[in-house]
Structures are given as C-alpha cells and as structure tokens.
Amino acid sequence: MIQLNEILSKNEFTKEEIIYLLSLEGPEKTALFEKSSAVKLATIGNKVYYRGLIELSNVCSKDCLYCGIRNSNENVHRYNITDEEVLEVSKFAWDNKYGSIALQSGELRSPAFTKRITNLLKKIKEMSNGELGVTISLGEQDEATYQEWFDAGAHRYLLRIEVSNPALYYKYHPGDHSYEERLECLRALKRIGYQTGTGVMVGLPFQTLDDLADDLLFMKDMDVHMVGMGPFVEHHDTPLYKYSNLLLPKEERFTLTLKMIAILRLMMPDINMVAATAMQAIDPLGREKAIKVGANILMPNITPGKYRDDYKLYENKPCTDDAAEDCKNCLEARVHIAGHEVGYGEWGDSKHFGK
Ligand code: SAM
Ligand code: SF4
C-alpha cells in the first residue's frame, strides 16, 4: 500500500507505474477507484452531461476487423436515416433539455455526404437557435470537410485511435487503412478548433498491458479534450471472432476498462470522458460504474427504434429495443444511483478545452 499511495499522490506516471496500476486487484484496486472518483469530483464535479446519440447510417466504406457493420459483412441490413428523422430526434433532444447531440455513422467520404452533413448541421442549429451542442463522429475526412462541418456548427469531434501501437493498428486494419492518416486527422481537428476526442478499445486479442499503458500516454501526449474508451466486445460476423479464444473473460475486459478510465482521470483530471455503451453490454450497471470511477458523459441512444437493431457493432448491444423516452427515464435513474446529477440544458464542454 505504501508504494500505491505514493503513486496515487501524483498525476504523471511512468509506463511502469501505469502497468502496475492496471494490475491492481482487491483493496488496492478499490483505492485506485476511490482516488479517481475523488479527483473527478474535486476537479469537474458530479454532473453528467448527455449527448443524444443518433446513429445516422450503418453504411461504411471500411473494413475494421472487429466491427459488426464493416463493409464486407453481407449479413447487415444497411440503412440511412432520413434528414426529417434526424431533425425529429434532434428536436426530441432539444425539447428534453439534452445539452447536445452526437451524430455517428459508418465512414463515408464523398462530396454528397459532406454536403448532406453540412446541411443537416445548419438545420439542427437553426431548429435550436444555435443552442444544441453538436458532437460528430464520422470517421476520417479531409481537413476541408472537417472545416466545413465546423463552420456549419459542429464543435466536437470523436475519432478513436482504437489502438495507439501502429503494429497492432495494422493487425486490425489491413488493406488501405493508414495509421499516419488517422493521426493526421486528429491533428487537423485540433488545428481547426474542435474539442477533439479520441479513445481505444480495451481487451482486444493480442493487446497487452504494455499496449494499454502506451494508449494512456498517447492520449496525454496528444493533449485531447475528450476520451471514449470501451471494452472490445466480439461480433460473430467479423474476422476477429476467430481469435475469441485469446480474449480475457468479458468481466476482466470490463474491469480493465474501469482501471483505464480511473488512471486517465488521474493523468488528465479535467477532460470529458464517456461512459461507453459497450460497458453496459457486459455489465448491466456498466455505465454507472464507469461514472463512479471517472467518466462524466453519457450518450443516450435517440436513434429511431426501427434502425437500432441494424447498428450492431458488437453482440448484446443494449437498448436496441427501447424508445428514446425509455432510455431517458432509465438513464436518469442510473445517474442518480451513481450519486450524480444530469446537467440538463448545458453543453458540458471539456474544461480542458482552451487551456
Ligand atoms: N465509423 C466511425 C469510426 O470508426 O471512427 C465512427 C463510428 S464507429 C462504429 C464507433 C466506434 O465503435 C469505433 O471507434 C470503435 O472503437 C467502436 N467499435 C467498433 N466495433 C466494436 C466492437 N466490436 N467492440 C467495441 N467497440 C467497437
Ligand atoms: Fe466502419 Fe467505424 Fe466500423 Fe471501422 S469502426 S468498420 S470505420 S463503422
């Protein structure tokens, strides 16, 4: 415990110290979680902010080996939400005082897609008198596209690096994916002035504690404003499924993700961190647990119900049967159970932004 207390009193860790923290069990693991919880409450308080998640489309040009909606998966029924439906659910978010929405989709790169998103952003801003915050997560695009969407009203962008070790990155992203291009996208987003978010999956086959420690150092080095980390959850229709025998049990992937959130909260006390939906795919109280150890953002799913089953990135994705209203009531209760309150009507921007 002496060694642990000494490490926990710092906010900069060596790689070896991070690996040590990731390996904690029993009362020492509890001490880590108590510390990260205290640091969060002291730095950014107990508010949890909503980003109403709209899963625009599951059409994707990419083939990430872990993802259920990858281009080559022929068993996916592909959809595209209409603009009217996007505006309708954005209005639901606005009427219910969700401070922000988040538009997410498979990766598409075309002038028509760019234009469609630009027009949608303008309409969403117009509908809410500019007051609804907008996060987007639409993959890798060129800088001019990012700039156009920023000018149209998006102000936060989420682009997970997925794994910061380039060798592992290429293992999961063969073909024409480029690690360097993904990095360059993150740099471009920061240059333009987005609140920039990245993140990783935890518990992928072949990933080690060494890799995860490097992931946390990567996020600190990139000086991002927001982070979304979630456990890897397998999907039977993906090439990575054949390595399922190499995976940690789901509960261990879950606990490892909690430790990643807790350690990053100590390293970057004032960033925004998402309690990822994938946490709940493993543990029914997964997102509450993530909030307790350091997360402060929830993404209630407001995608129209008829599409939800088709945005299956992984198996056992929660809330695919719920209407947006059910999700709202259930989430608020969950936030209260975790001893927190919902920041209704507030953007809840990253306090790290602009520093
Ligand atoms: N297409 C965009 C992109 O990849 O950046 C945004 C949407 S993508 C579906 C959102 C995130 O889902 C990815 O960044 C990835 O981390 C996560 N994801 C995909 N497959 C997953 C899986 N099997 N388990 C957990 N998370 C997964
Ligand atoms: Fe497409 Fe994103 Fe899935 Fe990769 S993770 S296949 S880019 S939706």
| Adjacent-strand bridge partners of 100 | 51, 133
The reply to whether 354 falls in a domain is no
User: Mean pLDDT across the stretch 12-17?
Assistant: 97
- pLDDT on residue 112: 97
The reply to whether 72 falls in a domain is yes
φ, ψ of residue 197 in degrees (nearest 5): -120, 145
- pLDDT on residue 139: 98
- pLDDT on residue 321: 63
Q: Which atom of ligand 1 is nearest to the CA of 162?
A: 16
Short-list 283, 179, 215, 232, CA closest to 68: 232
The reply to whether 12 falls in a domain is yes
- The confidence band for 176, taking pLDDT boundaries of 50, 70 and 90, is confident
CB-ligand 2 contact for 67 (6 Å cutoff): yes
Residue located nearest, by CA, to atom 12 of ligand 1: 313
**What average pLDDT does the chain have?**
95
- The confidence band for 354, taking pLDDT boundaries of 50, 70 and 90, is confident
Counting the structural domains of the chain, the total is 1
CB-ligand 2 contact for 70 (6 Å cutoff): yes
The reply to whether 257 falls in a domain is yes
Which structure tokens are listed for 168? 């592992």
Distance of alpha carbon 227 from alpha carbon 224, whole angstroms: 7
Cα dihedral sign, 163-13-294-146 = negative
Short-list 230, 170, 180, 232, CA closest to 203: 232
CATH of the domain at 337: 3.20.20.70
- pLDDT on residue 319: 67
pLDDT for 69-111, tens place per residue?
999 999 999 999 999 999 999 999 999 999 999 999 999 999 9
DSSP, collapsed to helix, strand or coil, labels residue 136 as strand
- pLDDT on residue 328: 75
User: Mean pLDDT across the stretch 239-247?
Assistant: 96
- pLDDT on residue 325: 60
The reply to whether 351 falls in a domain is no
Residue 176 CB burial class (10 angstroms; 0-12, 13-18, ≥19): exposed
Global pTM reads 0.97
Q: How far apart are the CA of 94 and the centre of ligand 2, in A?
A: 28
pLDDT for 114-131, tens place per residue?
999 999 999 999 999 999
Which of 2-6, 171-175, 215-219 is predicted least confidently? Answer: 2-6
User: Mean pLDDT across the stretch 317-336?
Assistant: 74
C-beta neighbour count of 11 within 10 angstroms: 12
Residues within a 6 A CB radius of ligand 1: 66-67, 104, 106-107, 137, 139, 159-160, 162, 201, 230, 232-233, 235, 278, 313-314
- pLDDT on residue 133: 98
- The confidence band for 338, taking pLDDT boundaries of 50, 70 and 90, is confident
Ranges of beta strands (E only) in the chain are: 47-57, 100-105, 133-137, 156-158, 195-198, 201-202, 226-231, 272-275, 297-298, 341-342
Q: Which atom of ligand 1 is nearest to the CA of 62?
A: 1
The reply to whether 347 falls in a domain is no
Residue located nearest, by CA, to atom 3 of ligand 1: 139
Which of 144-153, 247-256, 278-287, 327-336 is predicted least confidently? Answer: 327-336
| Best probe residue, ligand 1, of 51, 58, 66, 235 (max atoms within 8 Å of C-beta) | 66
CB-ligand 2 contact for 69 (6 Å cutoff): yes
Q: How far apart are the CA of 171 and the centre of ligand 1, in A?
A: 16
The reply to whether 349 falls in a domain is no
- The confidence band for 315, taking pLDDT boundaries of 50, 70 and 90, is confident
- pLDDT on residue 326: 59
- pLDDT on residue 337: 85
| Adjacent-strand bridge partners of 324 | none
Query: Mapped to the 3 state alphabet, what secondary structure does 244-256 carry?
Result: HHHCCCHHHHHHH
Ligand of minimum distance to the alpha carbon of 73: 2
Ligand of minimum distance to the alpha carbon of 201: 1
- pLDDT exceeds 80 at position 324: no
- pLDDT on residue 71: 97
Which of 136-150, 242-256, 317-331 is predicted least confidently? Answer: 317-331
Determine the length of the chain. 355
Distance of alpha carbon 308 from alpha carbon 272, whole angstroms: 26
pLDDT for 190-209, tens place per residue?
999 999 999 999 999 999 99
In DSSP notation, 30-83 reads HHHHHHHHHHHHHHH-SEEEEEEEEEEE---S---TT-TT-TT-TT----B--H
The reply to whether 353 falls in a domain is no
What residue numbers bound the domain in which 172 lies? Answer: 2-342
- The confidence band for 333, taking pLDDT boundaries of 50, 70 and 90, is confident
Distance of alpha carbon 264 from alpha carbon 216, whole angstroms: 7
